[in-house]
């Protein structure tokens, strides 16, 4: 059984079992008069190690670990175990000013069975429509941006209230530079009003912005009137290719991540009004309290504030994914092979 445990847990349990032996020896010696040498021999313990344990005092590191564990438990309790070890490390650094290594945080979480509740499974529904107008995929999966308000993407996702099965729809507008939701609209209906509201709120928040506005080809975005609104705001429209959700990958990923955070932070929502309130609270939590590895442990709100105040914003390029790179290399090889055969 112990062989299937993580390495940190196995090391901890090995040490714990030895301490249990020491405590048993101490009790039997003091209460029953058992001979130390006899017990050491029977339990496979050296006398030197036993007496060293008897005389020891907690080290500085052990004291720090106890304090750190208390903080980890407090944070985990406050957000229903939302964070894994790496995100927990960033959060502790941001909120408590403590710069512990994430491996140390991982070990403490592992040996104390503090496990993240992230992530949930989601289902998606699609509606076919005949578009009035479409746009080219100008974004072309180039999800990096050099500054805020250069590239925005948007989408609509469905969410259900667990107890009543009622539906709500959420439409954020996400900045690809810092993954910051520049606006969010919530509605009881999956209609054109929700996308119009999200666009309007984003424009009102940043009236001088002229970003590339990317979406899928849902009926809300292929209306001529929607394109006209974008043009009036000075925004260029970009659309994913048909049935290629990867073309809007960051927004798709954000929607799933957001729902995971929502249901972990607010697992007991029972009404539509409560869910709407929870949605906006979750956006606030994501912006201000959810640190991200890509931003070196900063939150989206911190990154945006720094970038808007800087003449030359810091670049946060998306890290290369070897698995994805290998996949696309394979696709290119298949294309080349096919063209040679023809």
139-187 tens-digit pLDDT? 999 999 999 999 999 999 999 998 888 999 999 999 999 999 999 999 9
SS (H, E, C) 1-62: CHHHCCHHHHHHHHHHHHHHHHHHHHHHHHHHCCCHHHHHHHHCCCHHHHHHHHHCCCCHHH
> How much is the pLDDT for 28?
86
What is the rounded CA–CA span in Å between residue 297 and residue 76? 17
> How much is the pLDDT for 39?
87
- Of residues 242 and 11, the one with the higher pLDDT is 242
311-326 tens-digit pLDDT? 999 999 988 778 777 7
What is the CATH architecture assignment of 151-309? 2-Layer Sandwich (3.30)
What is the rounded CA–CA span in Å between residue 28 and residue 34? 6
The segment with the largest mean pLDDT, out of 110-114, 164-168, 305-309, is 305-309
Domain regions of the chain by residue span: 2-111, 151-309
Helix (H, G, I), strand (E, B) or coil at 236: strand
Helix (H, G, I), strand (E, B) or coil at 177: coil
**Range in 3-17, 156-170, 258-272 with the lowest mean pLDDT:** 3-17
In this prediction, residues 218-233 reach a mean pLDDT of 94
> How much is the pLDDT for 230?
96
pTM for this predicted structure: 0.75
Is the pLDDT at 258 greater than 70? The verdict is: yes
Helix (H, G, I), strand (E, B) or coil at 220: coil
- Quickly state the pLDDT bin for 340 (edges 50, 70, 90): low
In this prediction, residues 287-304 reach a mean pLDDT of 96
> How much is the pLDDT for 299?
96
54-90 tens-digit pLDDT? 888 888 888 999 999 999 999 999 998 999 999 999 9
Residues recorded for the chain: 342
In this prediction, residues 291-310 reach a mean pLDDT of 96
In this prediction, residues 192-205 reach a mean pLDDT of 96
> How much is the pLDDT for 120?
53
| % the chain with pLDDT above 90 | 61
CA distances from 123 to 126, 160, 278 (A): 10, 11, 20
């Amino acid at each position: 059984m112990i062989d299937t445990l993580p390495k940190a847990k196995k090391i901890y349990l090995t040490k714990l079992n030895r301490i249990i032996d020491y405590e048993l020896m101490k009790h039997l010696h003091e209460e029953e008069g058992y001979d130390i040498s006899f017990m050491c021999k029977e339990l496979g313990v050296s006398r030197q190690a036993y007496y060293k344990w008897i005389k020891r005092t907690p080290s500085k590191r052990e004291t720090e670990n106890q304090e750190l564990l208390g903080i980890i438990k407090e944070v985990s309790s406050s957000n229903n175990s939302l964070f894994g070890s790496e995100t927990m490390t960033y959060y502790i650094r941001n909120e408590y000013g403590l710069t512990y290594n994430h491996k140390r945080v991982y070990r403490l979480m592992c040996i104390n069975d503090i496990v993240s509740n992230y992530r949930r499974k989601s289902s998606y529904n699609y509606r076919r429509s005949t578009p009035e107008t479409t746009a080219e995929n100008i974004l072309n999966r180039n999800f990096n941006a050099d500054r805020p308000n250069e590239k925005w993407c948007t989408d609509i996702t469905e969410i259900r209230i667990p107890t009543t099965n009622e539906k709500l729809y959420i439409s954020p507008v996400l900045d690809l530079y810092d993954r910051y939701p520049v606006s969010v609209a919530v509605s009881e209906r999956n209609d054109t009003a929700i996308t119009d509201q999200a666009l309007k709120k984003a424009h009102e928040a940043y009236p001088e912005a002229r970003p590339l506005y990317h979406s899928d080809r849902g009926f809300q975005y292929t209306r001529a009137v929607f394109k006209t609104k974008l043009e009036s705001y000075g925004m260029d429209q970009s659309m994913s290719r048909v049935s290629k959700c990867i073309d809007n990958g960051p927004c798709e990923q954000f929607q799933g991540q957001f729902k995971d955070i929502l249901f972990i932070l607010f697992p007991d929502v029972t009404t539509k009004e409560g869910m709407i309130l929870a949605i906006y609270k979750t956006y606030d939590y994501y912006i201000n309290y959810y640190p991200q590895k890509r931003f070196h442990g900063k939150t989206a709100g911190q990154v945006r504030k720094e970038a808007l105040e800087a003449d030359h914003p810091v670049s946060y390029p998306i890290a290369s994914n070897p698995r994805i790179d290998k996949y696309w290399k394979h696709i290119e090889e298949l294309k080349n092979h096919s063209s040679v055969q023809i």
